[in-house]
Amino acid sequence: MMSADMNAVDAENQVELEEKTRLINQVLELQHTLEDLSARVDAVKEENLKLKSENQVLGQYIENLMSASSVFQTTDTKSKRK
């Protein structure tokens, strides 16, 4: 009977060890996924800052073009009607 008890304990220990190993591997995989997502977020933030800067430059350029063009100048409707 002692041998059967020992085998049962060994089998239980083996199941626990396998479960711990599975959980550790799962945690490591989740850590890698988190690292990848964090790196992606950083890259997107950087790209967003670049695009904001480009949009500001383009906005200023368009504003300058509009102010230099007579088409976009404000008109005085009263003087034209006289």
Q: Extract the tokens encoding 25.
A: 């591997």
Confidence at residue 23, expressed as pLDDT on a 0 to 100 scale: 98
Residue 73 is given by DSSP the state S
Tell me how far apart the alpha carbons of residues 27 and 29 are, in angstroms, rounded to a whole number: 5
User: Strand, helix or coil at 74?
Assistant: coil
Confidence at residue 82, expressed as pLDDT on a 0 to 100 scale: 47
pTM above 0.95, yes or no: no
Instruction: Please give the average pLDDT of every successive group of 10 residues along the chain, which has 82 residues.
Output: 76 94 98 98 98 98 90 63 48
Tell me how far apart the alpha carbons of residues 70 and 42 are, in angstroms, rounded to a whole number: 44
Cα angle 20, 34, 53 (rounded to 5 degrees) comes to 175
Confidence at residue 5, expressed as pLDDT on a 0 to 100 scale: 77
